[in-house]
């Protein structure tokens, strides 16, 4: 039986809002909870994209602007002030805990959640990447840090330390699939059955009218952030198959810091029938047309590009680098295609095999993927958040 209160106030912390997948999840949860009397949702954000703030979003939640994480003490003070003024019961910290959270909890009595939107210990990739960003850090990397970090042990140790701080500072720690709970617990050296780790997947909206009449288009959608998305792999894979798929084209939608470098790599490789579309607000138009959606990421917590594509009837292929990706695309060959990480030859072979399937075989995969996404409808996932919030209010 669920537990209900007369009034529950939840606040989510974001850097940019509304922006990417994590922000979309917050909006979905807010829409669902607002249908229950007494639930009020707030978002505390540093940067607000006014052009993306629809009337529906404004009516669903209350938005407060806070200082950026570049000034942590000022940010913490603003958050504490709003928690007291708004009467917040539960504070959801998206991705990681904020600086000063222990003092905020002490001064306000608020219950806290850390919502991990990556795979367990995803920070290890960011730690290595940031140590190579900028010419001073690149020099330090070459002279000193490369040998310390090249086997991954130090980066993983630091990632575990950061996750432990997040876990110990919160009342609930959410992960993106069931497999991530024991993986996180094992890394932290705790008993998963006596932990406060909660698996809650990302939701996906059903598509009202799925287009199964696809073009011979292979699509990538996402940030041009090569340390995590590794689009360079996809470009090399396209080089391996482009002469055998002469009636197919590769389309890349998105933008980011590595846009210029990846464009230059495409020209250097002499890639054909490839299009860099840039950032688009009408991504659904691309999903409606694309036959295949391809990811070649180094790390993915859940892969919203994959679930969005499946909901639109696309066949997805990705390296099985995380439990999240494997869960999204399983069963392999029936709801998508999972390639051993990070075998580019195997990926190319799988892509050729996929494109050679009959229309009937492809249609069966598309329909199975669409059906699988219905298991993760926003109301299903948001109900898991509601159960968590109700449990916290009973503590």
Q: Is 249 strand, coil or helix?
A: strand
Pairing of β 62-65 and β 90-94: unpaired
Q: What is the dihedral of CA 18, 21, 23, 26, to 10 degrees?
A: 140
Tens digit of each residue's pLDDT (9 = 90 or more) over 371-395: 999 999 999 999 999 999 999 998 8
pLDDT of residue 254: 92
Mean pLDDT computed over 275-295? 94
Q: What element of type H or E holds 214?
A: none
- Domains contained in the chain, CATH given: 8-117+170-203+377-394 (3.40.50.2000), 215-376 (3.40.50.2000)
Mean pLDDT computed over 121-148? 89
- Token pair, residue 64, equals 């407060």
- Token pair, residue 214, equals 């696809």
Q: Which residue has the higher pLDDT, 213 or 280?
A: 213
pLDDT, the chain, mean: 93
pLDDT of residue 197: 97
pLDDT of residue 329: 96
DSSP 332: B
Mean pLDDT computed over 71-75? 91
Contact 310, 370 (CB under 8 A): yes
Mean pLDDT computed over 289-301? 96
- Token pair, residue 221, equals 């959608």
Q: Of 148, 119, 115, which is closest to residue 131 (Cα–Cα)?
A: 148
Mean pLDDT computed over 154-177? 96
What does 99-132 look like in DSSP terms, one character per residue? TTHHHHHHHH--EEEEE--SSTTTHHHHHHHHTT
Confidence of residue 19 (pLDDT cuts 50, 70, 90): confident
- Token pair, residue 176, equals 């993106």
Q: Global pTM? A: 0.92
CA 20 remoteness from chain centre: 8
Mean pLDDT computed over 67-79? 92
pLDDT of residue 281: 80
pLDDT of residue 22: 85
Residues 6+ positions from 231 with CB-CB distance below 8 Å: 220, 222, 224, 252, 258, 262, 296
């Amino acid at each position: 039986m669920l537990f209900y209160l007369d009034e529950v106030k939840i606040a989510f912390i974001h850097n940019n809002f509304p922006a990417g997948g994590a922000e979309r999840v917050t909006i979905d949860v807010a829409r669902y909870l607002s249908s229950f009397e007494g639930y009020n949702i707030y978002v505390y954000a540093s940067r607000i994209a006014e052009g993306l703030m629809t009337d529906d979003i404004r009516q669903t939640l209350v938005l407060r602007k806070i200082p950026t994480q570049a000034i942590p003490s000022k940010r913490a003070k603003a958050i504490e002030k709003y928690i007291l003024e708004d009467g917040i019961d539960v504070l959801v910290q998206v991705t990681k805990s904020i600086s000063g959270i222990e003092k905020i909890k002490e001064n306000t009595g608020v219950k806290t959640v850390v919502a991990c939107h990556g795979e367990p210990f995803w920070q290890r990739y960011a730690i290595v990447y940031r140590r190579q960003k900028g010419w001073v850090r690149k020099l330090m990397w070459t002279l000193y840090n490369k040998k310390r970090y090249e086997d991954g042990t130090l980066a993983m140790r630091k990632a575990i330390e950061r996750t432990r701080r997040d876990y110990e500072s919160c009342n609930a720690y959410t992960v993106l699939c069931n497999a991530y709970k024991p993986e996180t617990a094992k890394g932290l050296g705790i008993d998963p059955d006596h932990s406060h780790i909660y698996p809650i997947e990302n939701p996906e909206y059903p598509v009202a009218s799925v287009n199964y009449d696809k073009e011979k288009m292979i699509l990538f959608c996402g940030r041009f952030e090569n340390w995590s998305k590794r689009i360079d792999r996809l470009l090399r894979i396209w080089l391996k198959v482009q002469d055998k798929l002469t009636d197919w084209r590769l389309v890349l939608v998105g933008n980011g810091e590595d846009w210029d470098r990846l464009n230059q790599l495409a020209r250097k490789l002499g890639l054909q029938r490839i299009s860099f579309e840039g950032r688009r607000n009408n991504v659904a138009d691309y999903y409606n047309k694309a036959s295949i959606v391809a990811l070649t990421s180094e790390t993915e917590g859940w892969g919203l590009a994959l679930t969005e594509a499946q909901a639109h009837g696309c066949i997805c292929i990705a390296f099985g680098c995380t439990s999240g990706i494997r869960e999204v695309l399983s069963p392999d060959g029936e709801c998508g295609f999972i390639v051993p990480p990070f075998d580019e030859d195997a990926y190319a072979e799988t892509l050729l095999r996929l494109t050679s399937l009959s229309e009937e075989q492809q249609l069966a995969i598309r329909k199975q993927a669409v059906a699988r996404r219905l298991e993760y409808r926003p109301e299903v996932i948001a109900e898991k958040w509601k159960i968590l919030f109700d449990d916290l209010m009973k503590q």
